[in-house]
Structure 1
Amino acid sequence: MAKILLHIIAFILVAGCSTLPDDTTSTGDLAFSSAPESSDKLIVFVHGVFGDPVNSWTSQAGVTWPDLIKGDERFRGFTVATYRCDSPFLHRSSGIAEITERLLHQLEDQDIFGKFHEVYFIAHSMGGLVVKGVLVNLNRPSQIKKLRTVKAVLYISTPAQGANMAEVSSWLSANPQLRDMQRADFNSFLQALENQWQNLIRDRGTPPFPQSFCAYETKPTHGVVIVNRIFAATFCDQNPHPVDEDHSNIAKPSSRGSDIYIWARARILDTSTLTQDAKLEYFLRKTRYNYRPGLDVEGVEWKESYREYEFTMRNPSKTERVVDLRLRFAFPWPVIASRLSCQEGCEGLAFTGIEDASFKIETQHQITKLQGYWTNLINIGATTMFPEAVFRGKIIMTTEFPPSDSASLTVGYRDGTDANKKSFFHRISVLDTATGTVKIEPEPLKGKQKTSIQFMPKEPIEFKGR
């Protein structure tokens, strides 16, 4: 009997009173911190059983985890929110499935998946089961766009397989949340939730969002380890992270140097970087062929200064298509000729230079001729690139002039399930001017970039007297 009482006391110790700090604005059960108007990234804290949105995250020093994030320069551009659910110790309240349904409705009603491009959940204890329920409910065709907005969930001491103490405490409490967290081998609710979670993981596309990360406590709470590694077991994208804290303090970092804070920050920022990476793969390389001057190559009489290049673009995803693709090349030198060499899995593909590659030569009274010219600009468009689609092109440039110092590739497209357009700007570097060796830099550039347009007449220009 004494041991039973010890279990119950340990569970009560995670409780606290429910108050909101002064610098938050409450909308229903979601409270948002102040953030830049341009913020498109959201972190939502979801507390556990007997908890609240303040004390569940506040260390003994009076420091809250949300406040640590708000003051962290590396989280600039993130909005922080906390979620509150009613979780009394003795009295009747909503079960976990009901809390899940309410949270999902509030996220949808407040257009969280429309206002933010990246959503992250930090969930402690029962809060992880609530978040997991939200995500599995979004794993259907009509809701998949919202699900992909959630980039990662951090499960912190979440009893995915239940907890012994939940069963013990349920003997004295009318709160159904405790019964929902009884051991999974006797709990059909947790079994069904875990099965749905495993289905979601298998259904993820490329890149695989939402990411899943897990941490668990190693120290007892008054003699009892509430959620150990066995009870925390679920699918995680990395090995579960052990934290030398008890069940309550694992969610209460005292500083930005705390183990759980460093771990969580790295997982969120790494995932955010992954979301910014361009999905498409593109390559530009000089061919190894050396043609004789005067030889007909691609309908062009070859000259000593000409260089031939191959361009390849590929959609590496095995499940997701790309739509509304727009590429704009500003090459280092004028393009003498270009054509598609092959394509697989593309619709509406167009590979062209600028629309009007000529300019007028005129006197005061009349236009004497239209003078054709070459330019360094090439536009490529496609209505759809299906999974694993690829196309290749051939390009001939003349290197008789100094190369542009702002050669670039601008990429724009939408994922097949996403209304938001992705845009990337890549530098094209000249590695060797003599041989014409070039490279598309893989790391996208940020901010406004300069592009130089080159013109080269196809024949000498004769200016007649006026």
Structure 2
Amino acid sequence: MTRSFPRDPSSRLVRISPPGNDASATLDVVFVHGLGGSIDTTWGAGESTWLHWLSDDHPGAVIWSLGYPAAATKWTDRGSGMSLPDRVPTLIDRLRDNGIGSRKVAFVCHSLGGLIVKQMLRHAEGVQLLDIQTISTSTMGVAFLATPHSGSTLATFIGTVGPARPTLTTLSLRAHCSHLEELGNWYRQNAGALGIQTVAYRETRKTRRWFGAVLVVNPTSANPGITDCVTTPIDADHSSIAKPQDRDADVYLGISRFITRLQDRAASEQDAKAESGLNSLESAITPPADLVEKIREIDAMKDMGLITSGEVAEVRTGILYKHYGILQ
């Protein structure tokens, strides 16, 4: 079966996972490309990329790829581009239109994509509209791949060379940009409070450009500055770090483990919420003895390892529904 991305120059969100697993899915994983990238090129080329492998390996997660115009210069972009704050509301609308925020969310970001996601979280958290705030309140984790948290010297170089004609997007990535510093401070101060787990990877190989080889994002800039987040060095350049060649590649293994951890956490929180709801319902109603005995039998089956916590919650809900004709 051929699996490829649709080609469209406008901002869009493409679903990578096949339809059909939404009822059992606990996590949406959204990949966001960086400067000069696209849905078609950043994550690999051909009929199947590592995003498809992750979809196959994590059936309980729905994998998405978010695309937006991200040209580096005006020679390759029809307009002057958009700054980070101006770009974000449109992308949030794109996510909301596709139901992102209705369950737990994780973002995997390459380069500029990481700054886009931090700006989206900040915007969503600060807006007094519940359906927009869900983008931040539902986010469980963010993985950064070579994201220039304090800017890139390459963007600074492009911005100072006349013929390059940088877009506003490129200019927003200049090293020591005050907006990036402020955005980084916001993320460091709020990621923990929002319950967001952070992982980060950095390039170690220089990228060849027409003017020579350069480390696009240096180790200091690649560090998001989050407690308990160690920025992992990867034997790759700025482009190839987002294109693991197989399932044994360090980036693939790291992101796969990250998704697994978040899925486990989402399932645990879901079970706890269901258990709390059932306990509240049971405490508000004095059940008959036969109903109590049925529920105790289900709990005993869980203690013996015969059924999972999620199955316990589902069966107990069914018992209560059947007896009272109500559902929490």
TM-score, with length taken from structure 2: 0.77
Higher relative contact order (CA 8 A, sep 6+): 2
Residue 15 (structure 2) pairs with residue 32 (structure 1): yes
Secondary structure of 1:191's counterpart equals helix
Residue 73 (structure 2) pairs with residue 90 (structure 1): yes
Residue 150 (structure 2) pairs with residue 259 (structure 1): no
Question: How many aligned residue pairs are there?
Answer: 296
Higher helix share: 2
Equivalent residue, structure 2, for 1:245: 236
Equivalent residue, structure 2, for 1:183: 175
Deviation at 1:98, TM superposition (A): 2.0
- Relative to structure 1, the CA distance from residue 53 to residue 145 in structure 2 (aligned partners, 3 Å threshold; closer, same or farther) is closer
1:82-128 deviation digits (Å, cap 9, x = unpaired): 222212233121122222222112222343223xx122211100011
- Relative to structure 1, the CA distance from residue 351 to residue 176 in structure 2 (aligned partners, 3 Å threshold; closer, same or farther) is closer
Q: How does 1:321-360 map to 2 (within 5 A)?
A: 325-327=277-279, 350=283, 353-355=286-288
Deviation at 1:80, TM superposition (A): 2.3
| % identical equivalent positions | 21
1: CA distance between counterparts of 2:292 and 2:73? 74
Q: How does 1:30-429 map to 2 (within 5 A)?
A: 30-39=13-22, 40=25, 41-58=27-44, 64-70=49-55, 72=56, 74-91=57-74, 92-114=80-102, 117-140=103-126, 142-143=129-130, 144-171=133-160, 172-184=164-176, 187-204=177-194, 208=195, 210-222=196-208, 223-236=213-226, 237-278=228-269, 325-327=277-279, 350=283, 353-355=286-288, 376-377=292-293, 406-408=297-299, 427-429=302-304
Deviation at 1:215, TM superposition (A): 0.8
1: CA distance between counterparts of 2:11 and 2:139? 21
Deviation at 1:179, TM superposition (A): 1.5
Secondary structure of 2:174's counterpart equals coil
Check conservation: 1:166, 1:179, Cα contact below 8 A.
Answer: yes
The one-letter amino acid paired with 1:231 is S
Deviation at 1:63, TM superposition (A): 5.3
Higher strand share: 1
Equivalent residue, structure 2, for 1:363: none
1:186-224 deviation digits (Å, cap 9, x = unpaired): x121022112212322422xxx2x222111111111332
The one-letter amino acid paired with 2:50 is W
Check conservation: 1:212, 1:235, Cα contact below 8 A.
Answer: no
- Relative to structure 1, the CA distance from residue 62 to residue 230 in structure 2 (aligned partners, 3 Å threshold; closer, same or farther) is farther
Larger Rg over CA atoms: 1
1:258-297 deviation digits (Å, cap 9, x = unpaired): 111111110111111011115898xxxxxxxxxxxxxxxx
Deviation at 1:376, TM superposition (A): 4.8
Deviation at 1:233, TM superposition (A): 1.7
- Relative to structure 1, the CA distance from residue 445 to residue 224 in structure 2 (aligned partners, 3 Å threshold; closer, same or farther) is same
TM-score, with length taken from structure 1: 0.56
2: CA distance between counterparts of 1:36 and 1:25? 20
Equivalent residue, structure 2, for 1:421: none
Secondary structure of 1:195's counterpart equals helix
- Relative to structure 1, the CA distance from residue 442 to residue 78 in structure 2 (aligned partners, 3 Å threshold; closer, same or farther) is closer
2: CA distance between counterparts of 1:407 and 1:83? 43
1: CA distance between counterparts of 2:96 and 2:118? 16
